[in-house]
Amino acid sequence: MKFIPNTPEEQAEMLAAIGVESIADLFEAVPEKVRFPELNLPKPMSELEIMSELTAISDKNADTFHYSAFVGAGAYNHFQPSIVAQMIGRSEFYTAYTPYQPEVSQGTLQAIFEYQSMVSALLAMDVVNASHYDGATALAEAAIMAVNVSRGKRKKVLILPGIKPTYRKVMRTYTQGMDIEITGDENPDTDLTALTAMLDADTACLVVQSPNFFGELEDLRGLADAVHAAGALLVVHTDPHACGLFTPPGEYGADIVTAEGHALGNALNYGGPYLGIFATTHKLVRKMPGRVVGQTVDKNGKRGFVLTLSTREQHIRREKATSNICSNQGLNALAAAVYLAAMGKNGMRRVAELTYHKAHYAAAEIDKLPGYSVLTTKPFFKEFVVQCPKPVADINAALLTRNIIGGFDLSRRCPERTHQMLVAVTEMNSRAQIDAFVTALKEVA
């Protein structure tokens, strides 16, 4: 009997062989009301016709190429130099697979090493890995690492309410069943001073995000001393571009620093894949999850690169592993390395300056509008909160008709923040776009 029946006779022979009378009998387990009766496929088309139709469909998307975007909340529209796509598309790099064999993976290993070196300099930290899915998972791993550093004697993780809500949910999901208490964010009004007052002998770490979810810069001066005096670790989640302009967390004495690295050369990509940045100090490197590439020399004295530290259970005994759920974001880290190399120190600062000044210009103009007010009172980088005269969902729907993607509706994550919009501005927003956004806000009010 042929594998694919070509005639009714062959089909009947196949059905008889498996003990059913008709093809419909194969779907008896599926409720009749949800069975798909037939595939109403269109007539065959040429490749030219298909591409034309798919292009027409894709043009219906509200993307950042055809719309001006002012939404952020963790995913930001930053410029991607053309060299990034050119490099990550090369066949020798076009994989995220872990380079286990150094003798055939020197290029990939060196790229990851360069990524680690540049991010270390950006964050003012000693060691960086390249192993986490995104900023949320990196932050969750930081909390677990802090507990592991105390050898499980400290179980409390204090987190600031200003941390992105979905990140806090991921942290709680990761730590289920680990006997870890995540607390401090129950009251949305809890500030850094109040959170610091909660430090006790059971606290493994204090976690803060700066710039926080609302775009504000937290005052980290002296915080590390207070945390360390309680025997705990300071974990800071930051924005890589903010570190191009403001004092990096490492200079404030942070023990662990995490960040979302997608904006370093990676596209928005409908939410992924992203890049979880994770950095720590030399003192704590043995407790760090993931993989670290190191530089060495071969038997001939030539420079080479190897996996220096790999604490995942597939490499070592399970009971000694620091994490079993981290991965190798090698391709995303490569994009970040190319981006950082192309931008350089001055380029990163310039991007941060443009972003900062454009965001503050937008905030000043919006604050002048009748019915609108900027609620952000602390220093901010590229995001700020706007109180609106009507539901944000209604405003954003009206903005879309003007080819503008409005800010994030904060009531989606913080129910108490009704009629509040989180506006994000980057170097990609021109003055003309900002002015058009301000004018549109006035009209739709």
Please give the pLDDT value at position 35: 77
Rg of the chain over CA atoms, in angstroms? 26
Domain of residue 73: give its range: 68-80+344-444
- Residues 315 and 402 occupy one common structural domain: no
The residues, any chain, with a CB within 8 Å of residue 212's CB and separated by 6 or more, are: 160, 162, 163, 218
Give the per-residue pLDDT at 6. 67
Q: What percent of the chain has pLDDT over 70?
A: 93
Domain end call among 315, 341, 367: 341
Rounded CA-CA distance 226/208 in Å is 14
Regarding whether 89 and 76 lie in a shared domain, the answer is no
State the average pLDDT over residues 199-217.
Answer: 97
Specify whether 238 is located in the same domain as 151. yes
8 A C-beta contact, residue 421 and residue 385: yes
> According to the per-residue pLDDT averaged within each range, which of 79-93, 246-260, 317-331 is highest?
246-260
Tokens (6 digits) for 85: 């796509």
Evaluate whether residue 94 is within a structural domain. Answer: yes
pLDDT tens-digit profile of 170-198? 999 999 989 999 999 999 999 999 999 99
Single out the residue of 232, 253, 249 nearest to residue 145, CA to CA. Answer: 232
Distance CA 142, CA 256 (A): 7
In a domain, 22, yes or no: no
Q: Is 157 helix (H, G, I), strand (E, B) or coil?
A: strand
Query: How confident is the model over 201-209, as a mean pLDDT?
Result: 98
Q: Is 237 in a helix, a strand, or coil?
A: strand
Listed in sequence order, the residues at least 6 apart from 284 whose beta carbon sits closer than 8 Å to its beta carbon are 145, 149, 233, 255, 256
pLDDT for res 5: 60
The CATH number that applies at residue 86 is 3.40.640.10
Q: Does 243 have pLDDT greater than 60? A: yes
Q: Are residues 95 and 191 located together in one domain of the fold?
A: yes
Considering the entire predicted model, what is its pTM? 0.88
**Helix 431-444 and helix 392-400: axis angle, to 10°?**
120
Domain final residue, candidates 341, 359, 384:
341
For the CA atoms of 97, 311, 257, 225, the dihedral, rounded to the nearest 10 degrees, stands at -170
Tell whether 303 and 381 lie within a shared domain: no
Query: Are residues 72 and 108 both part of a single domain?
Result: no
pLDDT at 100 over 70: no
Identify the CATH number of the domain in which residue 73 sits.
3.90.1150.10
Residue 1 pLDDT: 42
Instruction: Give the end of a domain, one of 284, 310, 341.
Output: 341
Torsion angle of C-alpha atoms 365, 366, 369, 374, degrees rounded to 10: -120
Whether residue 289 contacts residue 312, with contact meaning beta carbons closer than 8 Å, is answered with yes
94 shares a domain with 237: yes
Q: How far apart are CA 330 and CA 115, in angstroms?
A: 10
Q: Are residues 205 and 138 in the same domain?
A: yes
Verify that 396 and 293 share a domain, yes or no: no
User: Is 51 domain-assigned?
Assistant: no
Do residue 287 and residue 402 come from a single domain?
no
Examine residue 25 and state whether it is found in any structural domain, yes or no.
no
pLDDT tens by residue, 383-432? 999 999 999 999 999 999 999 999 999 999 999 999 999 999 999 999 99
Can you give the pLDDT at residue 98? 63
Tell me if residue 56 falls in helix, strand or coil: helix
- Angle (CA) 312-318-323 rounded to 5° is 40
pLDDT level of residue 311 (50, 70, 90 thresholds): low
Task: Give the per-residue pLDDT at 2.
Answer: 45
Contact 264, 240 (CB under 8 A): yes
Note whether 103 and 150 are same-domain residues.
Answer: yes
Q: State the Cα–Cα distance between residues 198 and 183, nearest whole angstrom.
A: 10
Asked if residue 360 and residue 219 are part of one domain, the reply reads: no
Higher pLDDT pick, 109 / 232? 232
Reported confidence tier of residue 169, pLDDT bands at 50, 70, 90: very high
User: What is the rounded CA–CA span in Å between residue 268 and residue 247?
Assistant: 26
Distance, CA of 205 to CA of 144 (rounded, Å): 10
Q: How far apart are the first and last CA of the chain?
A: 70
Answer with the residue of higher pLDDT: 131 or 145: 145
How many domains, the chain? 2
- Residue 32 inside a domain? The answer is no
Contacts of 270 (CB under 8 A, 6+ apart): none
